[in-house]
Amino acid sequence: MPRIRHIAILTKDTTKLAEFYRASFGLKEVARSGEEQNAIYLSDGHINLAILPARNRREGIYHFGIEVEDVQGAVETALAAGATGGKAELPKDGRFAETFVLDPVGTRVDLSKGWKV
């Protein structure tokens, strides 16, 4: 059964926001990426929280991800149900084996086989 696996939040200060979630809720850091390590990934052991730099976008929730057994099948099902965008191919670099679609109101929904916890 598909399940929500991660939520991504955009912020101008990734370090400060990540520290807030660590201090407030005991989330553990599981990864960093990007130049100067400015994307910080936290987890409660079940759901991951991606703290991403806002750059030229508004701060707040950016997208969420759903873990599925069959990524290509999930993309096809979502497209048939009214999703747009996205593609069935997985990224060549293998990062989290994920792709995405846009729901009917334009929210990005990542589809993956799993994330680090």
Least confident of 12-16, 35-39, 103-107, 113-117: 113-117
Is the predicted pLDDT of residue 68 greater than 80, yes or no?
yes
Sheet with 48-53, strands from edge to edge, namely 28-33, 39-43, 48-53, 3-11, 60-67, 108-112, 98-102
- As a whole number, mean pLDDT of residues 31-60 equals 88
Predicted TM-score (pTM) of the model is 0.71
Which residues on neighbouring strands pair with residue 49, listed in sequence order?
A: 7, 42
SS (H, E, C) the chain: CCEEEEEEEEECCHHHHHHHHHHHHCCEEEEEECHHHCEEEEECCCCEEEEEECCCCCCEEEEEEEECCCHHHHHHHHHHCCCECCCCCCCCCCHHHEEEEECCCCCEEEEECCCCC
Least confident of 27-31, 32-36, 113-117: 113-117
3-112 CATH fold: 2,3-Dihydroxybiphenyl 1,2-Dioxygenase; domain 1 (3.10.180)
Identify the residue whose tokens are 């293998």.
94
Is the predicted pLDDT of residue 97 greater than 70, yes or no?
no
What ranges do the domains of the chain cover? 3-112
